[in-house]
Amino acid sequence: MEKELIIRKIRDGIVIDHIPAGRALTVLKLLGITGKEGLRVALVMNVESRKLGLKDIIKIEGRELSKDELSIIALVAPTATINIIRNYEVVQKFKVEIPDVIEGALKCINSKCITNKPREPIKTRFITISKDPLMIKCDYCGTVYTAQDIENMLLRSRE
Ligand code: CTP
Ligand code: ZN
């Protein structure tokens, strides 16, 4: 008999599959899920994947994802697949996509950047200059960020 890790199917919610191994906790944190919301969440880390070697999976019952959340997931887990589950069936499946332009979701770390001037409430804007390896740049001051910078930036903004 084949031995496998059994995590039961969910009834309604989302399954974020094919997350690069070890990144599930980062994704959860970026979604603001702490466990205190009372949502039923299943987390699987470092399991075999045909496509990736090892992967993580997150299952969240009774939750949806906004467009901004999908963009943020793409930035830290570009291989992720989103499965929308309704009444136990996968009703929608799509890959996250690194956006060409990221507006509002990130904060530039350059203190001299115009987006950090307290009197000028400007929405931040970053332009993707490379998807693999990931590199984006602030459209206002030109500061360039790598994948690791982006993760640090995202985590810091949610502390
Ligand atoms: N899933 C779930 N609950 C359901 C239906 C699906 O938790 N009611 C999970 C599955 O366990 C799997 C993911 O959602 O992790 C996608 O399901 P499915 O499309 O059936 O699996 P695969 O065909 O293996 O997906 P893929 O081709 O994207 O790897
Ligand atoms: Zn800037």
Please give the pLDDT value at position 84: 98
- Adjacent-strand bridge partners of 121: none
- Looking at ligand 1, which atom is closest to the CA of residue 15? 14
Residue 18 alpha carbon, nearest atom of ligand 1: 29
More confident residue, 100 or 3: 100
Q: Please tell me the predicted confidence (pLDDT) of residue 1.
A: 56
Look over the chain and give the mean of its residue pLDDT values, rounded to a whole number: 93
SS3 13: strand
pLDDT at res. 149: 94
Q: In the chain, what are the domains? A: 13-95 (3.30.70.140), 101-157 (2.30.30.20)
Least confident of 47-56, 75-84, 88-97, 142-151: 47-56
Q: Which ligand is nearest to the CA of 57?
A: 1
Phi, psi dihedrals of residue 58, rounded to the nearest 5°:
-125, 130
Which among 4, 10, 12, 15 is the best mutation to test ligand 1's pocket, defined by most ligand atoms within 8 Å of the CB?
A: 15
Return the ligand 1 atom nearest residue 57 CA: 15
pLDDT at residue number 55: 96
| pLDDT band of 118, cuts 50, 70, 90 | confident
> In this predicted structure, what is the pLDDT of residue 30?
92
Helices (H), the chain: 24-30, 67-76, 147-157
Q: Is the CB of 59 under 6 A from ligand 1?
A: yes
Test site for ligand 1: of 4, 54, 83, most ligand atoms within 8 A of the Cβ: 83
Kindly indicate the confidence band of residue 119, based on its pLDDT and cuts at 50, 70 and 90. confident
- Say if ligand 1 is within 6 A of residue 57 CB: yes
**Measured in angstroms, how far is the CA atom of residue 138 from the centroid of ligand 1?**
37
Sign of dihedral through CA atoms 150, 152, 156, 158?
positive
Q: Over range 125-129, report the average pLDDT.
A: 97
Q: Which ligand is nearest to the CA of 140?
A: 2
Q: What pLDDT does residue 26 have?
A: 94
81-117 residue pLDDT tens: 999 999 999 999 999 999 999 998 898 999 999 999 8
Residue 25: pLDDT over 70:
yes
The answer, yes or no, to whether any atom of ligand 1 lies below 6 A from the CB of 82, is no
